[in-house]
Chains A and B, each alone.
Chain A
Amino acid sequence: MVKALNLALQQEMERDPDVLVLGEDVGVDGGVFRVTDDLQRQFGSRRVIDSPLAEAAIVGSAVGMSLYGLKPVCEIQFSGFAFQCFHQIENHAARYRQRSQGRFHCQMVVRMPYGGGVRALEHHSESEEQFYAHIPGLKMVIPSGPRTARALLAAAIRDPDPVIFFEAKALYHAAKEEVPDEPEIMPLGKARVDREGGGLTIVAYGAMLRVAREAAETLATEDGVETEIVDLLTVSPLDRDTLAASVGKTGRAVVVHEAPRSFGPGAEIAASIMEGAFLSLEAPVQRVAAYDVPFPGFAREKASVPDAARVVAAARAALAY
């Protein structure tokens, strides 16, 4: 997936001279995960900026660049560090369009690696998409593999509103998939049906898509249940129509995410399903999420981050209701 993201950046920078990249270690080093590898050599240090180490000024100066008409793509090294720029995102990036009544807007992307699975220390494994999904004026995108990562990053760069773009660390090197050479765009705000089925809907995104697929396999072989998987891709704005259509067909839903359960995206997704498919529901919407504890450290993360067994158990509970 790292290569797919790099390709999106490279092609968007080639296409539009207003696109630039800034962040910690993004230039010479190519980013700690190598997503921006070789871009500084290709586009120069004015366009691929090794910034000083300060998240607020990375995002804050990107806000200023976007007000001037540039299209900056910021990299925050880990989403756990983004609280030092959260105010710039919430107070400013999300609001300049409204504050200036359309005179200015922030066409910018803030990329961040998120989630567990890489045996990293505290603040390197959290999933905190719910904070961004809750902010009016922002879009919150989480691709689930190389192809969606590439097509959605390109779409995010071209989108006129600020986009928070989460990249699952667990997929950076593990996820492999053919990606077309020519530029590809997928629309923001549109979910994708990853697998069709009539017995149950699993809603997932990011690294949890793999978990959902594994659970669906088990349910097919052991329970004879055909599962439909909705890969959200964009957490906010939520594709409520796709959710309602799928659950309208299956009558049962399990939502899976790595963020802690309470007040997480699962709550909004469940409410949306209730609003859009209430009369079709056969069972309460199940949520499989991390537990409501601070990220417990990688020695215990497997106990908290959802796995296929927990998803299967939730699915069986929904099926037996």
Chain B
Amino acid sequence: MPRTVLEPRCQIEHLSILDADGNLDVALEPALTAEDLRRLYRAMLLGRRLDERMVRLQRQGRIGTFAPIKGQEAAQMGSVFTLRPTDWMVPSFRETAAMIWRGWSIEKMLLFFSGRLEGGQPEPEQRDLPVAIPVATQMPHAVGLAYAAQYRGDDAVVMAYCGDGATSEGDFHEAMNFAGVWSVPLVFVVQNNQWAISVPLKKQTHSATIAQKAVAYGMPGIQVDGNDVLAVYAASREAVERARAGDGPTLIEAVTYRLGVHTTADDPTKYRSEEEVKAWERKDPLTRFTGYLEKRNIAVAGVEAEVDAEIAAAVERFEAMGPADPLGMFDHAYGAPPAALEAQRAEVAERARDQQAPPAPPPDDSPLPMRGQRTTRRP
């Protein structure tokens, strides 16, 4: 029997609307209002300025380890901007800009990166999962949320984020497979920032693109210029509309670059060249978008001062908060704490009281009290 070529043949689109030199594909330009564009810009700039501030706060020992987003503002904001408040967002751990857009306060981000549990609590109406740190493990949760939305007959869409490194994890593939089989309203956004700590994309996968992995799971996949907020927006809107219409999941690969460190505990000079970073700095998503706004005569003067003031006020409120109450660790371990856990809580409470109490008087000379007689039947 002859060999035949089976469908589907792998054809993956790359979408770019506004390139690094400011050239615009007018035919593809999304119909965003001046107000929308201004809000997008503000959120991207807030992301950038907060990022810079948080790195400084970490260096000063005022917060803990932080994973900066610098360079990925367009990939995050172009995608999350397409969600409604009634949709769901599932982050990994490098989505500060998108999370703040969704309603997480700056104080909560600061609390989270200060090791405070309070930083993980969404607002009552917020349909957002907290940060998930183990790589790719949040992706199946997004599938379950999307299945539940469909099961309940809600028209909510779920958007789940991960990075290029996550596409090597089993959970990423299992989630893609389940999402495809169940045809759930889900948009996978892979921020391909080229580096998983020190491992470059070419050592992470032998695929020419990440987007093509969608083909194996029977869903559309598209690669976009992740530093082009218009392209990310256009692709995300299409994917969200497809999901909401009941036509299943989509994989978006946003090609971007982590301009900063993996986390504040990382030194990227060990594994990548300055030239490479410089080349990507020329593709900076904010510079590019600012140029576009100028051409469209959309005034953004004053936005920087405004976001800086917002950040400064939040940092001030954060630093005015008292230390973490140790007893808080017991609050949400179980719905109803087991008896043994209540006893442990009481122990911590007692220790805290002892530490506050005046020092005990010096011991007298009387012998140590006995704990009681052995009451057994042994002679």
Contact = CB atoms under 8 A, between A and B. Distances in A.
A57 B171 contact: yes
B177 interface: yes
Contact of A98 (B117, B142, B171, B377): B117
Interface string A120-143: 000000000000000011000000
Contacts of A65: 144-145, 147-148, 151
A103 B128 CA distance: 10
Interface in B124-151: 124, 129-130, 132, 134, 137, 139-149, 151
Contact of A61 (B117, B118, B141): B141
Interface string A80-91: 000010011001
Chain B interface size, under 10 / 10 to 19 / 20 to 34 / 35 or more: 35 or more
B152 interface: yes
A302 B63 CA distance: 56
A161 B334 contact: yes
A240 B143 CA distance: 39
Nearest to A251: B376
A246 B282 CA distance: 74
Contacts, number: 147
B86 interface: no
A57 B173 CA distance: 9
B338 A189 contact: yes
Contacts of B139: 60
Contacts of B146: 64
B378 to A, nearest CB: 6
B121 interface: yes
B178 A52 contact: yes
Contact of A103 (B124, B141, B341): B124
Given A56-B174, A99-B130, A161 B335 contact: yes
Chain A: interface size category:
35 or more
Interface in A50-76: 51-52, 54, 56-57, 59-70, 72
A259 interface: no
B243 to A, nearest CB: 15
B152 A61 contact: no
B144 to A, nearest CB: 2
B274 interface: no
Interface string A8-21: 00000000000010
By secondary structure, the B interface counts as helix
Contact of B121 (A20, A100, A136, A280): A100
B379 to A, nearest CB: 11
A279 interface: yes
B141 A237 contact: no
Interface string B160-200: 00000000001100110110010000000000000000000
Contacts of B148: 64-65, 67-70
A101 B121 contact: yes
B140 A237 contact: no
B170 A64 contact: no
Nearest to B373: A279
Contacts of A281: 376
A104 interface: yes
Interface of B: 117-118, 120-122, 124, 129-130, 132, 134, 137, 139-149, 151-152, 170-171, 174-175, 177-178, 181, 331-336, 338-341, 372, 374-378
When A and B form their complex, which 3 residue pairs have the shortest distance between CB atoms, in order from nearest? A64-B144, A60-B140, A68-B148
10 contacts: A20-B151, A52-B178, A56-B170, A57-B175, A64-B144, A84-B170, A98-B117, A101-B118, A161-B334, A279-B372
Given A57-B174, A67-B141, A160-B336, 11 more contacts: A20-B151, A46-B151, A52-B178, A63-B141, A64-B141, A88-B140, A104-B129, A159-B335, A161-B334, A237-B340, A282-B378
